């Protein structure tokens, strides 16, 4: 079951879908599927200038407003006490992480295939959130040495390399899904005093 929604971000509108997301990118689809299987409410959206979303690409600056808008919509739907999570893939990992690290409602985040060859992820050293870093061992945009160097000083981060996977996880969606599912199950388990509380990931 799926419900289409619009997210108003300033003068533009973002295309989004609640539950059962069916975006064309297999990585995003798989991540959303395993989160739903773990009992998380999910919201996926296209950045400005993508698909039916208005606006134009802004090199990751205005796109942060898109993430804030999506989190606001999801947070409103789930209630003010519900912790939120952020999962981003490639460019989305960079933009999503920048927002998530400073967002009061976000309790955890997943960065899939962070393109370290193009974007600076050094801000993660100051990130107080629980973090899962996922990459393929054959990803030309996320070299193993750079990936390991990024993860090493992050005490709250788990880093996992999926052997044989490239940036698009061709033929490796199953192990990718397993890794995200493990995170999602841990995220969905309520802390003491939070029994019965829903959680969401966008």
In a domain, 120, yes or no: yes
pLDDT at 81: 85
Q: For 149-176, what is each residue's pLDDT tens digit?
A: 999 999 889 999 999 999 999 999 999 9
Looking at the predicted structure, is the pLDDT value of residue 29 above 70? Answer: yes
Residue 27: helix, strand or coil by DSSP? helix
Question: Which of residues 194 and 23 earns the better pLDDT score?
Answer: 23
In a domain, 195, yes or no: no
Average pLDDT over residues 64-71: 84
In a domain, 184, yes or no: yes
In a domain, 53, yes or no: yes
Distances, alpha carbon 93 to alpha carbons 12, 33, 114, 191, in Å: 22, 18, 6, 26
Q: What is the pTM of this model?
A: 0.81
- Domain of 115? 3-190
In a domain, 197, yes or no: no
Say how far apart CA 106 and CA 64 lie, in whole Å.
14
Q: Which two tokens stand for residue 122?
A: 């050094």
pLDDT at 202: 62
Domain count, the chain: 1
Residue 15 φ/ψ, nearest 5 degrees: -80, 135
pLDDT band per the 50, 70, 90 thresholds, residue 84: very high
pLDDT at 16: 41
In a domain, 199, yes or no: no
Burial class of residue 111, CB neighbours in 10 A (0-12, 13-18, 19+) = buried
In a domain, 11, yes or no: yes
Q: What is the CATH number of the domain that holds 164?
A: 3.40.50.1820
Q: Which two tokens stand for residue 44?
A: 């996926």
In a domain, 200, yes or no: no
pLDDT at 62: 59
pLDDT at 102: 94
How high is the mean pLDDT of the chain? Answer: 81
pLDDT band per the 50, 70, 90 thresholds, residue 20: very low
Looking at the predicted structure, is the pLDDT value of residue 196 above 80? Answer: no
Closest by CA to 111, choosing from 55, 52, 174, 156, is 156
């Amino acid at each position: 079951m799926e419900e289409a929604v619009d997210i108003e971000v300033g003068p533009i509108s973002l295309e989004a879908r609640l539950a059962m997301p069916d975006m064309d990118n297999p990585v995003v689809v798989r991540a959303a599927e395993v989160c739903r299987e773990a009992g998380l409410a999910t919201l996926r959206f296209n950045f400005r200038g993508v698909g039916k979303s208005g606006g134009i690409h802004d090199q990751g600056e205005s796109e942060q407003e898109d993430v804030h808008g999506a989190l606001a919509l999801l947070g409103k739907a789930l209630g003010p006490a519900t912790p939120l999570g952020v999962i981003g893939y490639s460019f989305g990992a960079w933009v999503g992480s920048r927002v998530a690290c400073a967002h009061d409602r976000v309790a955890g985040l997943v960065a899939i295939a962070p393109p370290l060859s193009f974007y600076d992820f050094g801000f993660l050293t100051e990130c107080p959130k629980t973090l899962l870093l996922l990459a393929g061992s054959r990803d030309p945009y996320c070299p193993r040495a750079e990936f390991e160097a990024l993860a090493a000083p992050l005490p709250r981060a788990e880093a996992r390399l999926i052997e044989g996977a490239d940036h698009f996880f061709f033929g490796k969606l199953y192990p990718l899904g397993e890794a995200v599912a493990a995170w999602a199950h841990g995220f969905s388990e309520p802390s003491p005093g939070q029994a019965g509380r829903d959680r969401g990931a966008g």
